[in-house]
Structure 1
Amino acid sequence: MDDDELSKIRAARLQELQAQQGRGGGDEKQQQEEAARKSAISQICTPEAVDRLGRIAMVKEERARALEARLVMLAQTGQLRQRVTEEDLIKLIGMIDEQKKDEGKITFQRRKVALDDDDDDFDL
């Protein structure tokens, strides 16, 4: 093999190793963020509420993350006066469900044509 070919192979291998280290660093950062989030939630919530969040996460991961984000936001803005209990968490879930229920409502308005004979069939 020529020196040029060897240097190309070495450069490609070096790039491959650097890419793997970059991905590994991303996992480490993600683990640190996860640990920080869990620490914040354990300070905000009672152990029963943390357990409830864990059970929710087993079923719907994205919903548990949204609840955790909302709890952290409430704590940062100073809207939480005490630790969140399981009952408070259930109330929060109910409030979020009500908001989503109103947002997801779709209404259809059908146009009526002036010469529509379909309505005549039902007039008795």
Structure 2
Amino acid sequence: MDDSELDQIRKARLEQLKSQGGGSGGGGGASKSGGQDEDRQRQQQDEARQHILNQILHPEAADRLGRIRLVKEQRATDVENRLIMLAQSGQLRSKVTEEQLKDLLNAVAGKQEEEKIVVSRRKGWDDDDDDLLDL
């Protein structure tokens, strides 16, 4: 990657951070033009993300990521975010291949499995369903 590509990645990341941090701090007088501005800004960010991804992914890897997005959009977004972060930090030395993408997907999937929350419900002594049986 050359310096101009890194500058583009940094600008896109800065815009992403601004939109995440500045989204809740606006004024109270939002109008139709404010919504259009947000849509336009979101579209620009999406285009910047896509441009970055096109620079750091082989076509086969980009195709696989697109297929994953059809099934699990959040997982594809998580992988894209991680790829962009790696590119911005300079940890990517070449374009990501499909095999490298698979490894990254497995890492993200393993992390998501660790984050699962299990809720076990106990039948309490004050269960209303038992009252219906006495009728």
> 1:25 is matched with which residue?
37
Q: What are structure 1's unaligned runs of at least 5 residues?
A: 1-17, 109-124
Query: Residues 77-116 of structure 1 correspond to what in structure 2 (within 5 A)?
Result: 77-104=89-116
- State the superposition RMSD in angstroms: 2.1
Identity %: 44
Q: Are 1:69 and 2:81 an aligned pair?
A: yes
Q: Which has the larger radius of gyration?
A: 1
C-alpha deviations, 1:74-107, integer Å up to 9, x for none? 111111121001111001111222233334376x
The higher-RCO structure (CA 8 Å, 6+ apart) is: 2
TM-score (structure 2 length as normaliser): 0.61
How far off is 1:38 after superposition? 0.1
Match of 2:105, SS state, is helix
- What is the one-letter code of the residue matched to 1:19? S
TM-score (structure 1 length as normaliser): 0.66
> 2:20 is matched with which residue?
none
- Say how many residue pairs are matched: 91
Structure 1 residue runs of 4 or more that deviate by more than 2 Å after TM superposition:
98-106
How far off is 1:27 after superposition? 0.5
- What is the one-letter code of the residue matched to 1:102? E
Distance 1:34 1:74 in 2: 18
